[in-house]
Amino acid sequence: MLTAANFKFILAAGALYGYFSRTGLQTLEFREEDSAPSLLYPAKENQLRERTLHQLLKRYVSGESVSFNTIPLDIASGTPFQQRVWRAATTIPYGEYLSYGQLAQQIGQPGAARAVGSALGANPVCVVVPCHRILAANGRLGGFTAGLHWKRFLLTLEGIEFTEQL
């Protein structure tokens, strides 16, 4: 859970708040503005990273196909399995998706779809690690830690078709 942030990006339904460590982006999460963490003064060494991320997010929410691969990540808080899942998710291109089972196969763990889902649920850097691009079998939404309204927003933004939960 984010307690303080040095990055903020405003959206219509809330905001993205994040924190850069010395290594890279450590946290990026959706929050409603009334539940926002306090903001820290940005560290000088991260100001360029924050400006770069802000510009990429601005282009992304305007509907442009964007790669966040230039943003360094600090995902050391995850287990080795979680880190493998998160890295694999970053390879899914804008506007495309995989199922949880397909991502499990991609990382060499066929049959680990639920474990992949759990790892994605712990993703500390949403959007940049695009866990929203992972859908359940038959194109159903599956889950999303920030709430399905955010997952719908991101998928719709990217033109990805999905099936509502039954």
Active site residues: 131
Tokens of 128: 């940049």
Q: Where are the alpha helices (DSSP H) in 14-133?
A: 47-61, 80-89, 100-106, 113-121
d(CA 148, CA 52): 27
The residue among 144, 166, 117, 145 whose CA lies nearest residue 155 is 144
Sequence-distant (6+) residues with CB within 8 A of 153 are 13
